[in-house]
Amino acid sequence: MSSQHDPHPDTADVGFNIGVPASARVWDCLLGGKNNYASDREVVAAIRDLAPEFSMVAVDNQQFLIRAGAYLAGELGITQFLDCGAGLPISNPLHAVVQAVRPDAKVLYIDNDSIVLAHARALLQTNDNTEVVAADIFDPTTLLENDIVKTFFDWSQPVAIIHTATLHHHPGEAAELTEVMQTYIDAVAAGSCTVISHLVDPDQPGGHRVARDIEKIFLAGLSTGWFRAPDEIAALFPGQELLNPGIVACRHWPNQPPEKSDNVFRDLIVGGIGRKPGQR
């Protein structure tokens, strides 16, 4: 058990159990954040005992999101971003990244974690081009019918759908998850993009063993966190064109092609961008 003190002793009675770890807070701990509790740190400690460098997976994922956001806003001119599973505050959030490139860019954050929602609403009060909605990202049909979601964007124009480090928390079979993503894709205009990162069960025997051992820790502590095979992750881009360099380890996107690495920990999360074809 961690010897650190809980950073929010006054929040123990706000509708959640700090004794039960939560995925957003575990990820925050992996990133070196302070919005986590002893229960979350126990999960991270167990992971680090097995894979000391696994925290770099969270860092690589975050850097991937930053680069992807800047690319979509800058190179592709997208100005609407639907961030599914916003997570706890970080030093360079998506809206700051894309609005630095395009000040008129609009970012809609979606989450169903009460702590995440409270932090996001407090931080974004003065930013008129951002909004926060409480919804289940794995129920896109209901999410897309939300009044704020329907009116915040111009759905006749491209939207970037962001699913970084979220889809591996879906408990169903890979085919069910592909259907979830298909619903999102069907709702957006041609030229829209999806940004996905996901924990991967690699083909290499060493990486496969590490992935399955870490998965057991996630499932024991969080009851969620599945490592999926590369072909299952590729299927999460239904009917889309994968932009170069395709689906690669997050730390390799987009500057260099995938390469063999002895560091199996950092290659356990992959990412890519898909684009919906057709005329805008």
The answer to whether the CB of 160 falls within 8 A of the CB of 193 is: yes
Q: Terminal CA-to-CA distance of the chain, rounded, Å?
A: 54
In three-state secondary structure terms, 43 is: helix
Whether the ω angle into residue 202 lies within 30 degrees of 0, i.e. cis, is no
- Packing angle between helix 23-30 and helix 38-50, nearest 10 degrees? 60
Fold type of domain 56-204+226-275: Rossmann fold (3.40.50)
pLDDT given at position 155: 97
pLDDT given at position 261: 56
- In angstroms, the CA 149 to CA 45 distance is 38
Give CA torsion, residues 142, 147, 153, 158, to 10 deg: 20
pLDDT given at position 178: 96
Half-sphere exposure (CA, 13 Å, Cβ side) for 186? 9
In three-state secondary structure terms, 183 is: helix
pLDDT given at position 257: 54
pLDDT given at position 29: 92
pLDDT in tens, the chain (280 residues): 222 333 333 333 334 677 889 998 999 999 988 888 899 999 999 999 988 888 899 999 999 999 999 999 999 999 999 999 988 877 789 999 999 999 999 999 999 888 877 777 777 777 889 998 999 999 999 999 999 999 999 999 999 999 999 999 998 888 999 999 999 999 999 999 999 999 999 888 778 899 999 999 999 999 999 999 999 999 999 999 999 999 999 999 997 655 555 566 788 999 999 999 986 5
pLDDT given at position 7: 36
pTM: 0.89
pLDDT given at position 2: 29
